[in-house]
Structure formats: structure tokens, C-alpha cells
Amino acid sequence: MKRSFNLFFFFLFLLPQFIWAQVREGSPPNVLFILVDDLGYQDLGFTGSRFYETPNIDKLASEGMVFTNAYAASPICSPSRAAILTGKYPARLNLTDYIPGNRHYGPHPNQQLASHPFKLFLDPEETSMAEAFRATGYATFFAGKWHLGETEEYYPENQGFEINRGGNHTGHPAGGYFSPYNNPQLPDGPEGEYLTDRLTAETIRFISEKKDAPFFAFLSFYTVHLPLQGKAEKVKKYEEKRRTSKYEGPAFDQQNGTFFKNHQDRPDYAAMVESLDENIGRLMHALAKEGLDQNTLVVFTSDNGGMASSNLAGQIPTSNAPLRTGKGYLYEGGIRVPLIFRWPNNIEPGSSSTFPVTGTDLYPTVPDMAGSKLRPMQHLDGISLKPVLTGEKLDVRPLFWYFPHYSGGLGGRPSAAIREGQYKLIHFFETNESELYNLEKDPEENSDIGKSLPKIKSRLANTLHQWIAEMAVKLPFPNPSYQPEEKR
């Protein structure tokens, strides 16, 4: 009798796993891809923030795998987004700056170099990740910031997404974060409705209606990009929190007219982060309510590092400290981003990986996890992270960045970079000089070790320049309008 009793509970324990195995075999997983705008690596509780509160995102991280060396493919939004959707480096796409960049203004007299024209759209000749999913029977949905083309022919509905809610040419919410939105792709809600809430509601509506086919939902929040507009009650909460917080050192550092923020202390930005977090909670609750949470792969990341510098100190939202600088730079603060993968029974909860990854890896990874056929001729510059996500290992390969522009008021300069293993080299085109860092020992990039390791510096520099040649890019050239400071 006792043996029969034990066998009953043994099979009772195995039954859900057996049923789940059958469901996985017959049902391709849904995909919910969440992209946040300008969210810094240090902006979340689980990555170290002590001022911002993100319990729902922290919970998401605890339920899946976190990549602690994840990078955006660019320190600026449009190129990074193009890399995610195509699996190609911005250099290969010739889409290397935000759209439209500074083309309408020309190089500034204080800029030593000028850059060549780049594409002002995501080329329809590319097979986007959405098109790849759609070709395999997935329903596809987009909500939020697009910023990958100035005219409608390049909008999401012409790049593989059946539904588009709010995606157009703008890089920030044209009407702000409260309705009316001044967005032709998103009808206004009730006066005062919050944009982050609305985009989440649109995504939840799509999820609840798409039970007859697997879905690929790409939720691209406008938040936490400028303008800094949080809900009043949350702003008030963080104003009180700031009054009781203690900070060491100066609030800002200044270099050549650019201010760098050292502390996370802005109540309006903290309020925006909290609203983001609440909506991640809403999404996960909706998946569970619809019975879809067990068979939905959730990906969460950002398009570049947090905005931590400006020529106007009052406009700086956040700090990436201890990482160096932020958006618009190839230092860690500008390109390192949070990255979470969650899929119950397929990705071990509470796991993490130090394997260096970049935005071009997301295209091959997501369809591979979903069991779809890969397109190696499309996602040329990415690799599938499925082995890492399922507990195996991958060989380390070099990662590359090419940003031949000045990042405007942020202060960044034309540069390129390579990371291989623990070493990272940044090359600056103005001076034709490079800096070398050991990121395992010095993630803050405080100590340039190029002079003490000349062979490593030379090897990485050669590899970087070979890659630049392979990309067939046009390098920055002398600015004919340049006027040295003493002549201005």
C-alpha cells in the first residue's frame, strides 16, 4: 500500500512535466520582446540602483537568465534598433547615427571631423526579425518607438509587423508622455492618460486576442527617453526619497563644457522608471491570466546606455556610475545594457552569464529558441545564444562598434571599439589614438593599460581595423568648416 501511495505521488509529480513537454513539442512559443529607450545598465534594482525601484523587473530577472556583459550594437538609438531587427552591425547597414542625425545642420565649426552620409531608414531589402517570424505563421505586433525611417514606407507595417501602435519617425514622444500624444499611429486616449500605460494596454489587448496562433510582440517603450515626465504622485514620492538620501562626492564632473552626472537622484526620471516597472508587472500578469506565461519567451533589454552627460546639467536624467560616461560614447556606460531572457522550463531561473553578447545576437537567438529555421545570410553579425541559455558554452569571439559621429550635446567623439575576452580597445578618429582596458579588473575604464601591454593593444587595433575594412565604411574626414578654439 505504501509503495502504491508513493508511486501515485511520483506520477502526479511527473504529469505536469509530461504535459508541458507535449505542449512544447506541438506549440511554438510566443515571443514578447521588450525594448526600453535609453535605460542604463545601472538603472535597475538587480543591477545595483539604490534610488530607482524596480521590483517587477527584478522578479523577471530572477525567473530567467541575466547577461552581465550585454551590449547594444551602438551607443545611439536608431543604429542599435536596426541591428536588433536585422542581426547586422550598424556599420554593415550604413546606418550609424540616430535618424536624421546632424545632416540638416552640417558639421559644427568646433568639430574637427565630418562624417559621410548614412541611410535614413531601415532598408526594406533586409529580412527583419518580424518578417522571419511572420513567414513561419506568427502573428506580429509592434507598439511604441520605431525611429527607423522618416516616411511611412519604412514604418513597422512595411517591415514585417501586421499591427503598428505608435511607431513612426519620431525618436521621442511628440506630444509628451500624457495624452493627447500627437501621434498619427496612436489615437489619443483620455486626457492625461500615460503613454507607457497605453502602450502596455495595446500589447495586452493584442496578446489576449491572439490565442489561435503563436505571436511575436515587440513592445518598444518610448520611456525613459526625454522629456522627463513622470506621474505627479510618483515624482512626489521620489522627491521625498531624495531628501533622505545621502551621496558622496560632487553631483557632476565637467570636461570641455560637458557635464557628467555622478548620482541617480532625479525624482522625475525615477518616476518614469517606476511606471516602466509597473507595466512589466502588468504584462507578466496578463500572460499568466491568459495561460500563456509558461510558453512565452520574454526578452527584456535597452537600446543603449543611460543618458548621463550633456552640455546642460539640468537635462541629464541618470548616472551609469561606476560605469564610465553614457549614451553617445563607446565607454561601458554608453553601450552596456541590461538583458534578460525568461522562458519557464527552458531557461533556468536565477541563472546568469558573463558571456559577452551584443544586439546583433538577438535576431538569431530568438527564432532559434522558438524552433524556427535560422537565416545566416541575414543575421551575418550575430550568433545564437541558445547554447548559453540552455546551459552550454560558446567560444568567445570579438565584438565591434563603429560610431563615426559626434554625439551632439552629449560630448561623444567619432570612435570605434573592439572587445575580445576581458580586453577592450577604443580608437578615436580625431587623434588616431587608442585606449586599452581590462574590463574584468577595471570595468570602470579608469586605467588605460595600452603602454604596458603593447602586443595586446597592437593585436586588437589590427583586428579592429581589419573589421572596419571588411565593413567597407567611409571613415570620418577633415571638417572643412573646422575652426580651432583659438581662432573662434
State percent of the chain over pLDDT 70.
Answer: 93
> Which residue range forms the structural domain that includes residue 163?
28-393
Is residue 4 pLDDT above 90, yes or no?
no
Alpha carbon distance 67, 351 (integer Å): 9
Residue 411 located in a structural domain = no
Q: How far apart are CA 129 and CA 299, in angstroms?
A: 14
The 10s digit of each residue's pLDDT in 409-431 is 999 999 999 999 999 999 999 99
* Mean pLDDT, residues 27-50 taken together: 97
Q: What pLDDT does 14 receive?
A: 44
- 23 — pLDDT class (breaks 50, 70, 90): very low
Question: What is the pLDDT at residue 109?
Answer: 87
- Check pLDDT > 80 for residue 386: yes
Please give the mean pLDDT across all residues of the chain: 94
The side-by-side arrangement of strands in the sheet containing 163-165 is 163-165, 139-144, 215-220, 30-36, 296-302, 339-342, 65-67, 351-353
Would you place residue 263 in the very low, low, confident or very high pLDDT band (cuts 50, 70, 90)? Answer: very high
Banded pLDDT at 18 (limits 50, 70, 90): very low
Is residue 303 situated within a structural domain? yes
pLDDT digits (tens, 9 = 90+) for 41-62: 999 999 999 999 999 999 999 9
d(CA 466, CA 483): 32
Fill in the DSSP letter of residue 336.
B
With respect to residue 154, please indicate whether it lies within any of the assigned structural domains. yes
Average pLDDT, integer, range 443-471: 98
pLDDT at 360: 98
CA distances from 232 to 192, 203, 229, 238, 440 (A): 11, 25, 9, 10, 41
CATH of the domain at 297: 3.40.720.10
Q: What is the pLDDT of residues 126-143, one digit of tens each?
A: 999 999 999 999 999 999
Q: Is residue 480 part of a domain?
A: no
Mean pLDDT value of segment 83-110: 89
**Average pLDDT score over residue span 252-263:** 96
User: Quick check: is 488 in a domain?
Assistant: no
- Asked if residue 435 belongs to a domain, the reply is no
pLDDT of amino acid 180: 98
Tell me whether residue 450 is in a domain.
no
Average pLDDT over residues 374-403: 97
With a cut of 50, say whether residue 10 has pLDDT above it: no
pLDDT in tens, 109-131: 889 999 999 999 999 999 999 99
Note the pLDDT of residue 321: 98
User: What integer is the mean pLDDT of 289-303?
Assistant: 97
- When pLDDT is cut at 50, 70 and 90, the band that residue 106 belongs to is low
In this predicted structure, what is the pLDDT of residue 243? 97
Residue 296, beta-bridge partner list: 30
Least confident residue range of 48-62, 208-222, 356-370: 208-222
Reply yes or no on whether the pLDDT at 107 is more than 90.
no
Q: Would you state the pLDDT for residue 13? A: 45
Decide if 252 is inside a domain: yes
Total structural domains in the chain?
A: 1
Backbone Cα Rg of the chain: 23
